[in-house]
Amino acid sequence: MSDCVLAVETNGLVKTFGNNRAVDGVSLSIPAGTICGVLGPNGAGKTTIINMLATLLTPDAGSAKIFGYDVQKDTQKVRQLIGLTGQFASIDEELTARENLVIFSRLLGFSKAESKRKSHDLLEEFGLTEAADRKLSEFSGGMRRRLDLAASLISRPPLIFLDEPTTGLDPRTRAQMWQTIRQLVKNGSTVLLTTQYLDEADQLADNIIVIDKGRVVANDTPDGLKRSISSASLRLVIRDPENTGRAVEVIEHVLGERVQITETSELAAPMKHAYKLTEVLIALRDAEIELSTIDVRQPTLDDVFFALTGNARENAGGN
Amino acid sequence: MTDTTVIQAAERELKTRISFTVAVKNSFTLAYRAWLKMLHNPESFMEMTILPVMLTLLFTFLFGGAVSGSTADYLPVIIPGVLVMCCAMGCSTAGTLLREDMNKGITKRLTSMPIARISPVAGMLMIEIIRYTVIGVVVFSLGFALGYRPEAGIVGVMGCIGLMVIAAWCLSWVFALMSVSVKSISTAQTIGMVIMFPMAFLSNALVPVETMPGWLQWVVDINPLSHVVTAMRELLSTGAMGSEFLVALAGSLVILAVFAPMTVMAYKRRA
Ligand SMILES: Nc1ncnc2c1ncn2[C@@H]1O[C@H](COP(=O)(O)OP(=O)(O)O)[C@@H](O)[C@H]1O
Ligand SMILES: [Mg+2]
């Protein structure tokens, strides 16, 4: 496959709801055969971007092309190239898993026999054969997600949108979902997935686009993104608050990094190398500063936001 | 086993638009889906069978003596009346189901697929024809069992059910439009109840108009359901399609012509 094919290309996409600019000039391009992770907090505009790319919403400004076809002008063609798995399951609760798949296959133009075969195969592929003829109301969250994804793959579309595919799943199901997503790309699809978890984007994506309040604030590879933020952060609580000032001095001296004091009186400092932890602890003991808690945290979306926008992310409303 | 290979965009034959044949096929597939939902849902079967049976028995034996002197004399009055009532109560079902699809994300998936945009609405409503037909057959069979022998015979009965199906189906579009235009499923259901209940009772379905005060007669007369009831009674007792039959039929078709396009447009806009 040629590497210059762009599965998605948008230019200055804008969507406004009232006077809320939910998506505010988003430009991105996703080469075919890659996974693009759109990372952002609740309300950042991730779903709205997907809805515009999947022809569910009309952009107020800007343009978007799917494999070269304009989402507004060539809507029908675009719909033949995409599979959408929304943030919330979009399958029929009152039908069985098999009935759901057969109906979507029939809608896509497959004959009765083909639809049956495709549904059978997909159920097997997603480990749902045993539950195939049960009503969906008896399905677990993970099974629903899998069926929802299966329904998006009937036509084996070259571009798949996954809107927060693992939010609310338990760790084991989440790992399974990651495995499935990797397999999709192996089979030749391009995947655009949104997530609130840095580790998910890190695990899966070839390229990560960080968005905040409808704007792209970073567009980089996972490694590049991680390099721009400290890899981990050291969190300490000093037993005697009077020692806080001295503790800051000691830690800054050992780590060579600035220490911040959070609202909860925690001391926070970026920590690039784990072995420095011992040195920090020894230095604090030598200075006779006692700790009440200590913790080393992997960077979270909050840290990414802190690093990229300079302010802690406030919890935006909406969904 | 599974063929999981993806056919790339450049190798696909893409259609520019949805043909009429595909639109019809899509509609039938979605009607099949609505049919399956009906089969899986015991409530909707009760609405189609137990409710009409209950209402017929209830009204016949409760009101029969008071309204017409005897239960036997009341049957020609009440059979068309109960039929209209039961169908009217089912009129908001399709609308509610459409709203449910919109709120549960199914409409989203359907919209992102290369299918005709009219099909989800058309499919959902097509299956309503079955609902009204079943109600019609149930009510008339029970009437027959109770000793009702209409002058018009089996052809008249079929004509009656036909008119009822058409009228109820056209009316369903009104509720479909309202359900598509509101936000929540419960609002859609409540509106259906609030409109249908008085409409069913403020008609000549259960009692003759002559017993009502003047202003109420006026209300009953503008109620389209009254015209359907009158048309059915005329047809059943004389065996001929009277002017009321044409009025009811024409009225239904006018409603359809106005509300069907509006519903489809509203659905497309809000999907
Ligand atoms: N249909 C809508 N009407 C009004 N506001 C909306 C609508 N959809 C989304 N929004 C608003 O747009 C912003 C972005 O929402 P969304 O795209 O759902 O974010 P995300 O998926 O990143 O959580 C939010 O402020 C949300 O409240
Ligand atoms: Mg979202």
Residues A193 and A252 in one domain: no
Longest dimension (CA), chain A: 78
Residues A215 and A245 in one domain: no
Going from the Cα of A155 to the center of ligand 2, the distance in angstroms, rounded, reads: 25
pLDDT tens per residue across span B149-201: 988 889 999 999 999 999 999 999 999 999 999 989 899 889 888 888 888 88
Full domain range(s) for residue A255: 229-311
The confidence score (pLDDT) of residue A301 equals 67
Taking the mean position of all CA atoms in its chain, how far away is CA B36? 18
Q: How far is CA B152 from CA B91, B182, B201, B225, in A?
A: 27, 43, 26, 21
The confidence score (pLDDT) of residue B258 equals 96
Q: Give the Cα separation of B113 and A188 in Å (integer).
A: 20
Ligand 1 lined by A43 (C-beta under 6 Å): yes
Q: Compute chain A's Rg from CA coordinates.
A: 23
Indicate yes or no: CB of B17 within 8 angstroms of CB of A76: yes
For the ranges A157-166, A239-248, B146-155, the one whose mean pLDDT is highest = A157-166
Residues A44 and A187 in one domain: yes
- Taking the model in full, what pTM does it have? 0.84
Taking the mean position of all CA atoms in its chain, how far away is CA A205? 9
Region B113-132: mean pLDDT is: 93
Residues A118 and A221 in one domain: yes
Region B196-222: mean pLDDT is: 87
pLDDT tens per residue across span B75-95: 888 899 999 999 988 888 899
Residue of A nearest to B33 (CA): A103
Mean pLDDT check: name the lowest of A55-59, A79-83, A166-170, B169-173: A166-170
Domain boundary among A207, A225, A243: A225
pLDDT band of residue B44 (cuts 50, 70, 90) is confident
Region A278-289: mean pLDDT is: 92
Which atom number of ligand 1 is nearest to the Cα of residue A316?
A: 25
Query: Can you name the residues that pair with A234 across neighbouring β-strands?
Result: A269, A296
Q: Does B44 touch chain A (CB under 8 A)?
A: no
Indicate yes or no: CB of B8 within 8 angstroms of CB of A32: yes
Going from the Cα of A42 to the center of ligand 1, the distance in angstroms, rounded, reads: 9
Query: Using an 8 Å Cβ cutoff, are A183 and A146 in contact?
Result: no
Residues A159 and A261 in one domain: no
Query: Using an 8 Å Cβ cutoff, are B82 and B59 in contact?
Result: yes
Total domains, chain A: 2
Q: CB neighbours (10 Å) of residue B11?
A: 8
- Does A94 reside within a domain? yes
- Does A316 reside within a domain? no
Q: Please count the residues of chain A.
A: 319
Residues 39-98, chain A, touching B (beta carbon < 8 A): 54-56, 67-69, 74, 76-77, 79-82, 84, 86, 88-95
Residues A148 and A279 in one domain: no
Q: Following DSSP, what letter does each residue of chain B receive, concatenated?
A: ----PPPPGGGS---SS--HHHHHHHHHHHHHHHHHHHHH-HHHHHHHTHHHHHHHHHHHHHHHHHHHSSHHHHHHHHHHHHHHHHHHHHTTHHHHHHHHHHHTTHHHHHHHSSS-TTHHHHHHHHTHHHHHHHHHHHHHHHHHHTT---TTHHHHHHHHHHHHHHHHHHHHHHHHHHHHHSS-HHHHHHHHHHHHHHHHHSSSSSS-GGGS-HHHHHHHHH-HHHHHHHHHHHHHHHSS--HHHHHHHHHHHHHHHHHHHHHHHHHHHH-
pLDDT band of residue A315 (cuts 50, 70, 90) is very low
Residues A45 and A147 in one domain: yes
Q: How far is CA B162 from CA A295, B152, B158, in A?
A: 76, 14, 6
Going from the Cα of A43 to the center of ligand 1, the distance in angstroms, rounded, reads: 6
Residues A124 and A246 in one domain: no
Indicate yes or no: CB of B108 within 8 angstroms of CB of A91: no
* H or E stretch covering A261: strand A260-261
Residues with C-beta atoms within 5 A of ion ligand 2: A 46-47, 87
The confidence score (pLDDT) of residue A137 equals 84
Residue of B nearest to A88 (CA): B105
Region A268-274: mean pLDDT is: 83
Region A144-172: mean pLDDT is: 93
Query: How do the domains of chain B map onto residue ranges?
Result: 19-204+211-270
Q: Give the Cα separation of B121 and B177 in Å (integer).
A: 10
Q: Does B39 touch chain A (CB under 8 A)?
A: no
**What tokens were used for B182?**
């509101």
The confidence score (pLDDT) of residue B111 equals 93
Residues A208 and A265 in one domain: no
Indicate yes or no: CB of A103 within 8 angstroms of CB of B106: no
**What tokens were used for B236?**
């059943």
Decide which of B99 and A232 is more confident.
B99
Residues of B in contact with A189 (CB under 8 A): 6
Q: Tell me what the pLDDT averaged over chain A comes to.
A: 89
Residues A241 and A215 in one domain: no
Please list, residue by residue across A87-106, b when 16 or more beta carbons sit within 10 angstroms of its beta carbon and e when fewer do.
bbbbbbbbbbbbbbbbbbbb
Residues A279 and A185 in one domain: no
Q: Give the Cα separation of B96 and A136 in Å (integer).
A: 20
Residue A88 pLDDT greater than 90, yes or no: no
Among A216, A236, A223, which Cα is nearest to A283's?
A236
Residue of B nearest to A87 (CA): B105
Domain boundary among A225, A247, A271: A225
Residues A219 and A281 in one domain: no
Q: Tell me what the pLDDT averaged over chain B comes to.
A: 90
Query: Can you name the residues that pair with A30 across neighbouring β-strands?
Result: A8
Region B66-79: mean pLDDT is: 86
Ligand 1 lined by A146 (C-beta under 6 Å): no
Burial of A266 (C-beta count, 10 Å sphere; 0-12/13-18/19+): middle
Match 């009341």 to its residue by tokens: B74
Contacting residues for A182 by C-beta, under 8 A, at least 6 apart: A204
A/B interface, count of CB pairs below 8 Å: 121
Residue B236 pLDDT greater than 80, yes or no: yes
The CATH code of the domain that includes A302 is 3.30.70.100
User: Which of A67, A76, A92 is nearest residue B9 as measured by Cβ atoms?
Assistant: A67
Phi-psi region of A265 (alpha: psi -120 to 50; beta: other; left: phi over 0): left
Going from the Cα of A26 to the center of ligand 1, the distance in angstroms, rounded, reads: 15
The CATH code of the domain that includes A194 is 3.40.50.300
